[in-house]
Structure 1
Amino acid sequence: MAAEISDGGACGLHPKKGFTSYPSSLKLAAVEDYLSGEGSLDAMCRKYGISSHAVLQQWITLYNQGHRDFKTRRAQEESGMAEKKKLSYEEKLQAVLYCIGHRLDYRQASEQYKITYQQIYNWVKKYQEQGETGLLDRR
């Protein structure tokens, strides 16, 4: 079995530091080109400068699940921090029941109630384990 050769030349031998960030437009273009049969995973990685097949395959999975916006990691972190807010017990309960009523669509519930995905996920988990008392603030 032949070893795979990178187009990075001598620079490709140096270890990378940190994560590579890709613009949403590049992600979408690469996925749509691949799905329309424009080339193989390898060809798309070379064409768009994507670090590995696994990265592109992850984008394809997200795309097929309906996450077509492809927010960058930084945009997700910034929006998550901006949206986090404290809700009353009644508002938490309402958000949890909304999420459960919409087949555990955490993303939709987080957008509806202007809270983070992690907040609604944790509240639903507590509600399922402990009932309404799981949502009480015990501080």
Structure 2
Amino acid sequence: MKRIEIVKHCIEHQNSYNKTADKYKVSYHQVYSWTKKYEESGVEALKDKRGKQKNANELSEIEKA
């Protein structure tokens, strides 16, 4: 599931949050939240930020390979 695809569909259909949520099998709240984030901050706001991101210094030799 691509958040940007869902948001663009919602915007193209006059912000029909309920219909978009039904079509993509996600909650109304998620569609609303993603759309507002996109409108305020663009595509970067839709990136999944879950989990701890490791920088290059923290990667093990196996992870670097």
TM range (shorter): 0.7 to 0.9
Candidates 12, 17, 21, aligned match of 1:101: 12
Candidates 32, 43, 47, aligned match of 1:136: 47
Percent sequence identity over aligned pairs: 38
Amino acid at match of 1:102: H
Q: Deviations over 1:83-127 (max 9, x none)?
A: xxxx4xxx1110000000000000010001000000000000000
- Where structure 1 has 5 or more consecutive residues not aligned to the other structure, the ranges are 1-86
Superposition pairs of residues 1-139 of structure 1, within 5 angstroms:
87=1, 91-139=2-50
CA distance in 1, matches of 2:3, 2:10: 11
Give the TM-score of the pair, scaled to structure 2.
Answer: 0.73
- Where structure 2 has 5 or more consecutive residues not aligned to the other structure, the ranges are 51-65
CA distance in 2, matches of 1:110, 1:122: 12
Equivalent residues, number: 50
Which SS does the other structure have where 2:29 is aligned? helix
Cα RMSD (Å)? 0.8
Amino acid at match of 1:135: L
